[in-house]
Amino acid sequence: MIRRAAVAGSFYGGTRERLRIQAGDLIRGEFPKARVIGAVVPHAGYVYSGRVAGAVYARLVFPEVFVILGPNHTGLGAGAAIMTYGTWETPLGHVPIDTDLARAIQRNSQTLEEDHLGHQREHSIEVQLPLLQAFGLPFSFVPICLFSSEYAACQDIGLAIAEAVMGSDRTTLLVASTDMSHYIDQEQARVKDQQAIDAILACDPERLHRVVKRERITMCGFHPTTAMLIAARELGATSAELVSYATSGDVTKDLTGVVGYAGLIIR
């Protein structure tokens, strides 16, 4: 099965040459490379959040496999949707799903369902792929799209990922795709987002889940990030680093209703 690109030409360049230049520019830079367990990256259009995501990816020692968790914005499909076979297409080519790791994750989980519909129109995972393809290195990935946000579901999925990764002989990196506060003024966004960022920096998934709910932070991917942190802690994560933070207001200059973007790495 080939999952066709849903947001090429809108969230990122729609032609191979345009996207190659665009994605290459976003990951360009001389940064110290780090072997990390996980990462948090945004998923808006590249003009808004691409620099934040690119700054994170430019810091990584490239693994063989990425497990990418994103929120389900469309409401289509299963509450916790995994794809275990096929390829995803972007203008830069096809990226294969790592069937062995995906099936191991699903076997370990009571929550994840094989479901293609939940991924069909969702952008949060798709927009990560061209940035990774731009490095020109081989990789496969596992896509996990979450609508369910209960902590128990996050815990089930996080533990299932960790168990599967520990049983694999390939290098694997976990990625949580999320934007931060939505459509509030820039000052408020920075204050609210810092509370969520502080929980991620503490590698504390329960705190993140709790503070987002309590403070009503409109962080669209807090549940994929929670699941990723649970898995990362099981895999030995003890610290995190904020690589970059920005808002849409930095681009539009309209500070009255911004979306926040944070990029972090988890060691």
Cα dihedral angle (5, 8, 14, 16), rounded to 10 degrees? Answer: -40
Kindly list the domain boundaries of the chain, sorted by start residue.
Answer: 2-266
| 187-204 core/surface letters (b: 16 or more CB in 10 A; e: else) | eebbebbbbbbebbbebb
CA terminus-to-terminus distance, the chain: 34
Q: What is the pLDDT of residues 152-179, one digit of tens each?
A: 999 999 999 999 999 999 999 999 999 9
Contact indicator for 118, 178 with CB cutoff of 8 Å: no
- Model confidence at 65, pLDDT cuts 50, 70, 90, reads very high
User: Where does residue 124 rank: exposed (0-12), middle (13-18), buried (19+ CB within 10 A)?
Assistant: buried
Q: How many CA atoms lie within 13 A of 51 on its CB side?
A: 10
Q: What is the CATH number of domain 2-266?
A: 3.40.830.10
Residue 112: strand, helix, or coil:
coil
Q: Give me the mean pLDDT over the 94-115 stretch.
A: 98
Phi and psi, residue 2, nearest 5°:
-110, 120
Residues 260 and 250: their CA atoms lie apart, in Å, by 10
Q: What is the pLDDT of residue 1?
A: 92
- Report residue 30's pLDDT band, with 50, 70 and 90 as the boundaries: confident
How does pLDDT run across 205-241, given as a tens digit for each residue?
A: 999 999 999 999 999 999 999 999 999 999 999 999 9
